[in-house]
Amino acid sequence: MTPVNGTQPVLEDLNVIVAGQGGDGSLTVVTLLAELMRDYGFNVYTERDVLSRIRGGHTAATVRAFSGDRYCIGSNIDLLVALDDEAIEKNTRHLDGNSIVIFDESGGKLTNGSLPKGIKLYSAPFNRIAMRTMRRELYRNSIAFGVVSRLIGLEDEALKKIFKKRFARLGTTVLDYNLEALDLGFGIADEFGLTNGAGLYKIKKKKAANKLLITGNESVALGFIVAGGRFYAGYPITPSSEILESLQKWLPMFGGVARQTEDELSGINMAMGAALTGARVMVGTSGPGFSLMQEGIGHAGSAEIPIVIVDCQRAGPSTGMPTKPEQSDINLMIFGGHGDFPRIVLAPGHPEDCFYLAAEATNLAFKYQCPVYISMDQGLSQNIATVDPFDLEKIEVDEGYQLDAEDLKKLDVYKRYAHTENDISPFAKPGTPGGFSLVTGNEHDEWGLVSTDPDNRVQMMKKRMNKIEHAKEHLPEARHFGNGDEKIGFIGIGMTYGVILEAMEQLEAYGVDTQFLQLRTIWPVLDEVNEFINRCDKVYVVEYNAVGQLAHLLMHQGADSGKIIKIIKYDGIPFRPREIYNRVMEENKSNNAGKKKTKKKRANSK
């Protein structure tokens, strides 16, 4: 960042962190800022670092606004809005000499040495001003927001517009008070010499960006609906609750139902009940709830009931760290449950992917009559990002192998579990004349009658497991980044997507060329994985868990284990691109590596 009195640079990449105590409103400020920057035409990504409590404890929310495509927070923070001392302590490690700090000095001024050298500090008693003038602590955020936006160089009017949009639904009094607080903030900014339009950056308002500002959870909910999803069951659990909340708001518009159940056992079974009638169903959960659902999911596999399961992974085991990201249920999704049953596991990498893969999962479940997972993680679930508007034309509702009364009349025999060429059996919705059937998780014959006949057992097991073989060629392919001849590869899923891409740019700028396979189907493991690994000399598998579950999965499926290197993290904090960059640089020092390439455009080093 350039000092205020210098020439104002054009804003290309800005990372702002707002930190304080839980309940201070860091998330609100960041969400508002995200919306504002999106309206200015920037791409936006946000991240939250919160505790599993409503009040107190250190919390931080980060927003990144940039010109290009980014799906992660940068390695350095440009602007820290610290609502207390702890916010300074916890976040100085992200600051560098060019960072700026806005500090709420209500609890006392900062002592010398609490900030790295060179950092510019704007300090004011926001909380005290809020209490003195407005009698309410909560207006502190709006006051601070006035200073933040002036500092960045946003227009006062644009801010007021966002405030009106955001607070209007809370009533005119709330809106008026917040606008008043904002003006107080502008006043403080004036005293700092930060007048309207004289901020750090020259910000050109781009033409209407036409971007959605959305989380992965919301995108999954919407993709499910578009592919015909009409029934959802869930129990509140972080970080999946927003799926339940969104669908409770939206499904009634479509004549559907989202039901909050008494527990996850009820949730998975209620969804299966709805699926029996022919409705397309989904459940969403996380860690502990996902463990509780295991018996039900196996049952869906055995009884051939179509169901989509969204696992918003958080740090486990047990109650773990509920608000922190992890990708540590990979084993449970792929190998969980007693007995052998077919399943498909899809893994989106950003909210747009979430939308299309949720639609795909809904269709796949219906087509192959088996459980289909959407593997999410806390970052992907809850972080807000800008994406292109979803294209409804791209999604078709797969009708599956359904029989109606007319179809049934033409048949001599109807067997719910009939053996067929592609191992998918016909299905008639209850209520259809002539389609009597029995559905059970017990081993059964083609009629659905319980059977322990050894030949039947083998045939039925093969029929169910073979469905996955048939599905293979129709499953979402990985996305490949790079030319294909780079010797160093990355493999990752979910929220590692954005960090790996940015690390690749940074590596390229210093002469290390890499390629990246963003997996979108992790079970069954598709041929693309080994093809990719075979092309590389070494492959970094980047993931959020303690043992390298994804790496182990790939090795178990025949990947050359000599080439695989794990990059793992399980401390609850998302990777920054610089961490990946450093790790790879350390291990790949060569003659041409390490020197900055001058010809190529320098990658963003945030």
Partner 1 sequence: MTKTFSPARPIWCAGCGDFAVQGVLEKSLDSLNIPREQLMFLAGIGCSGTIQNNIKCYGYHALHGRVLPTAIGVKLANPNLTVVAAGGDGDGYAIGAGHLVHTFRSNPSLTYIVMNNSNYGLTKGQPSPTSPLGYKSNAEMDMDAILLGLSLPSTTFLARGFSGHPEQLGQLLVAALKHAEEGKGFAFIEVLSPCVTYYDTHREWASRVHNVDEDPDYNCTDRGNAFSKSLEILNNHKIPIGLLYHGEHVSLESLSLKEDCIPPALQDLNSPDSVENCKKIIQSFMG
Binding partner 1 (rule: CB under 8 A), the pick from 6, 108, 113, 431 is 431
Q: What's the closest the beta carbon of residue 412 comes to partner 1, in angstroms?
A: 6
Structure tokens of 159?
């801010």
Q: What's the closest the beta carbon of residue 77 comes to partner 1, in angstroms?
A: 26
* Residues 240-259 contacting partner 1, CB under 8 A: 250, 252-257, 259
Q: In the 8-state DSSP scheme, what is residue 417?
A: T
Stretch that binds partner 1, among 42-50, 52-60, 425-433, 461-469 (CB under 8 A): 425-433
Site string for partner 1, 197-236 (x = CB under 8 A): -----------xxxxxxx---x---x--xx-x-xx-x---
- 99 vs 369, which CB is nearer to partner 1? 369
- 265 vs 321, which CB is nearer to partner 1? 265
Q: What's the closest the beta carbon of residue 172 comes to partner 1, in angstroms?
A: 22
- 105 vs 295, which CB is nearer to partner 1? 295
Q: What's the closest the beta carbon of residue 120 comes to partner 1, in angstroms?
A: 31
* Residues 15-44 contacting partner 1, CB under 8 A: 35, 38-39
Binding partner 1 (rule: CB under 8 A), the pick from 9, 236, 389, 484 is 389
User: Which residues lie across from 175 on neighbouring strands?
Assistant: none
Binding partner 1 (rule: CB under 8 A), the pick from 3, 193, 197, 433 is 433
Cα–Cα distance measured from residue 110 to residue 121, given in angstroms and rounded to the nearest whole number: 10
H or E element that contains 219: helix 216-226
- 296 vs 320, which CB is nearer to partner 1? 296
Cα–Cα distance measured from residue 553 to residue 330, given in angstroms and rounded to the nearest whole number: 9
Q: What's the closest the beta carbon of residue 260 comes to partner 1, in angstroms?
A: 11
Structure tokens of 317?
């085991």
Q: Are 482 and 458 in contact (CB under 8 A)?
A: no
- 255 vs 454, which CB is nearer to partner 1? 255
Q: Which amino acid would we find at residue 340?
A: D
State how far the alpha carbon of 123 is from the alpha carbons of 18, 27, 192, in Å.
Answer: 14, 21, 9
State how far the alpha carbon of 49 is from the alpha carbons of 30, 73, 93, 455, 528, in Å.
Answer: 12, 12, 15, 55, 35
Binding partner 1 (rule: CB under 8 A), the pick from 172, 392, 421, 485 is 392
Q: What's the closest the beta carbon of residue 244 comes to partner 1, in angstroms?
A: 14
User: Which residues lie across from 403 on neighbouring strands?
Assistant: 428
Q: Are 552 and 543 in contact (CB under 8 A)?
A: no
Q: Are 261 and 289 in contact (CB under 8 A)?
A: no
Q: What's the closest the beta carbon of residue 64 comes to partner 1, in angstroms?
A: 18
- 33 vs 274, which CB is nearer to partner 1? 274
Instruction: Name the packing angle between helices 351-368 and 454-471 (round to 10°).
Output: 150
Instruction: Name the packing angle between helices 216-226 and 351-368 (round to 10°).
Output: 40
- 58 vs 230, which CB is nearer to partner 1? 230
Site string for partner 1, 395-424 (x = CB under 8 A): --x----------xx-xxxxx---------
Q: Is the dihedral of CA 38, 44, 45, 51 positive or negative?
A: negative
3-class secondary-structure state, position 128: helix
- 4 vs 257, which CB is nearer to partner 1? 257
With contacts defined by CB under 8 A, how many residues of the chain interact with partner 1?
78
Q: Which amino acid would we find at residue 358?
A: A
* Residues 260-319 contacting partner 1, CB under 8 A: 261-263, 265-267, 269-281, 295-296, 299, 303
Q: What's the closest the beta carbon of residue 402 comes to partner 1, in angstroms?
A: 11
- 124 vs 281, which CB is nearer to partner 1? 281
- 40 vs 510, which CB is nearer to partner 1? 40
**Can you say how many angstroms the Cα of residue 167 is from the centroid of all Cα atoms in its chain?**
26
- The upper half-sphere exposure of residue 154, i.e. CA atoms within 13 Å in the direction of its Cβ, equals 27
Q: What's the closest the beta carbon of residue 98 comes to partner 1, in angstroms?
A: 30
Residues with Cβ within 8 Å of residue 131, at least 6 apart in sequence: 137
Stretch that binds partner 1, among 99-107, 194-202, 332-340, 443-451 (CB under 8 A): 443-451
- 184 vs 222, which CB is nearer to partner 1? 222
Q: What's the closest the beta carbon of residue 388 comes to partner 1, in angstroms?
A: 11
Residues with Cβ within 8 Å of residue 454, at least 6 apart in sequence: none
Q: What's the closest the beta carbon of residue 345 comes to partner 1, in angstroms?
A: 22
Q: What is the DSSP string of 227-283?
A: TTEEEEEE---TTTHHHHHHHHHHGGGGT-EEEE-SSHHHHHHHHHHHHHTT-EEEE
Stretch that binds partner 1, among 53-61, 237-245, 320-328, 385-393 (CB under 8 A): 385-393
* Residues 37-76 contacting partner 1, CB under 8 A: 38-39
- 44 vs 567, which CB is nearer to partner 1? 44
Q: What's the closest the beta carbon of residue 66 comes to partner 1, in angstroms?
A: 17
Give the residue among 345, 352, 315, 320 at the shortest CA–CA distance from 330: 345
Q: What's the closest the beta carbon of residue 344 comes to partner 1, in angstroms?
A: 21
- 125 vs 435, which CB is nearer to partner 1? 435
Stretch that binds partner 1, among 284-292, 389-397, 520-528, 531-539 (CB under 8 A): 389-397
**Can you say how many angstroms the Cα of residue 372 is from the centroid of all Cα atoms in its chain?**
18
Q: What's the closest the beta carbon of residue 392 comes to partner 1, in angstroms?
A: 6
Residues 326, 327, 332: CA angle, nearest 5 degrees: 125
Give the residue among 561, 479, 559 at the shortest CA–CA distance from 521: 479
State how far the alpha carbon of 556 is from the alpha carbons of 334, 356, 532, 549, 560, in Å.
Answer: 12, 29, 16, 10, 9
- 180 vs 295, which CB is nearer to partner 1? 295
- 45 vs 414, which CB is nearer to partner 1? 414
Over the range 269-285, which residues count as b (16 or more CB within 10 Å of their CB) and which as e? bbbbebbbebbbbbbbb
Binding partner 1 (rule: CB under 8 A), the pick from 68, 97, 193, 430 is 430
Binding partner 1 (rule: CB under 8 A), the pick from 198, 418, 438, 555 is 438
Site string for partner 1, 344-383 (x = CB under 8 A): ----------------------------------------
Q: Is residue 450 within the footprint of partner 1 (CB under 8 A)?
A: yes
